Structure 1
Amino acid sequence: MAHPSSSHSRLFRASLLALPLLLGGAAWAQQPPPAASAAAPAADPGRHMLAEIQVIPRPVGTADDRYKHVDAAIAVIQASGLRYEVHGLGTVVEGPPEKIWPLLQAVHEATLQAGAERTLSIIKVSGGAQAGGPRVEDLVRKFRN
């Protein structure tokens, strides 16, 4: 009798192989990725985005510095010049999308550069097509003491 996990493993691999077909057929799976634009999209001064990122590096830190890898991620956010709030389970940052997206990648990478063997980043992003958008302060003001 096969080990129960081996049948789950085969099923998982089969579902991954079927994924391109479900998402648009074999032609989609064989298309090369679109070429990167030579110029970055123009910044829209009115656009605003909120993002929350939680990094879960393994290990979280070292024997000498319990949260070394997480602190490295927060240091990248602090150096960004964007408005942010550190919370117990993640950090919220706000600003223009063209600054937020690269920052999220840099935060993730910072944990690895600090010595983590691996990391998982959980990211929530809120943005709109129109100018403006909520600020952290707008969303939490009535709940603050």
Structure 2
Amino acid sequence: MSSTTNDVLYAVADFCLIPMGTGEVSVAEYIAKCQLVLEASGLKYKMHGYGTNLEGPWDEVSAAIHSCHQAVHAHGAPRIATDIRIGTRIDRPTEEVGTANEHKVKRVEDILQAWKNHDA
């Protein structure tokens, strides 16, 4: 097995931060606060309808999620629940792992396109 080039464990996380006890129907402003934190982190991230994908060194990913909690509490949320899934791999160089999500999505899109072209 290959190891990461500098022994830093690269993590791909999907997390869903849920502000609670705000008394509001929409939590969009709270999520926007978290997105500002992620933007400032310099990590690769992408928000989606039910959470955010976040990629980078494990410690930085964890720190960014921690900072999101701090920002959302500071914005007035008395409670936060967060679901986190984290994946790591060491069988490829870090440069390749860093683009893993893009390759996974592209692979599925390529399969779908091939099927559509075959059925046409």
Separation in structure 2 between the aligned mates of residue 55 and residue 123 of structure 1, nearest angstrom: 9
Within the alignment, does 1:54 sit opposite 2:19 as a pair?
A: no
* Residues 67-112 of structure 1, C-alpha deviations (whole Å, 9 max, x = no match): 1111111111111111111100000011112211211211222211
Name 2:84's counterpart in structure 1: 123
Sequence identity percentage: 25
Q: Name the residue aligned to 2:28.
A: 67
Asked whether the 8 Å contact 2:17–2:82 carries over to 1, the reply is: yes
Work out the number of aligned pairs and report it: 102
* CA displacement, residues 87-139 of structure 1 (integer Å, 9 cap, x when unaligned): 00000011112211211211222211111121101111111356433621022
Distance 1:71 1:118 in 2: 17
Is the alpha carbon distance of 1:128 and 1:66 closer, same or farther for their aligned partners in structure 2, counting shifts above 3 Å?
closer
> Partner of 2:116 in structure 1?
none
Compare the two structures and name the one with the higher strand fraction.
2
Q: Deviations over 1:6-30 (max 9, x none)?
A: xxxxxxxxxxxxxxxxxxxxxxxxx
1:53-132 equivalences under 5 Å are 53-59=15-21, 67-129=28-90, 131-132=93-94
| Structure 2: 5+ residue stretches without partners | 114-120
Structure 1 portions without partners, runs of 5+: 1-42
Task: Give 1:92's aligned amino acid.
Answer: N
**Relative CO higher for 1 or 2, CA cutoff 8 Å, sep ≥ 6?**
2
Distance 1:103 1:111, change over 3 A: same
Change (3 A) 1:125 1:82: same
CA distance 1:138–1:119, change in 2 (3 Å): same
CA distance in 2, matches of 1:61, 1:80: 29
Instruction: State the structure with more CA Rg.
Output: 1
Question: Aligned Cα RMSD in Å?
Answer: 2.8
Q: Which residue of 1 aligns with 2:117?
A: none
Deviates more, 1:81-90 or 1:50-59: 50-59
The answer to whether the Cα contact below 8 Å between 2:13 and 2:86 also exists between their aligned partners in 1 is yes
Structure 2 residue 100 is the aligned partner of structure 1 residue 139: no
Separation in 2, partners of 1:60, 1:138: 38
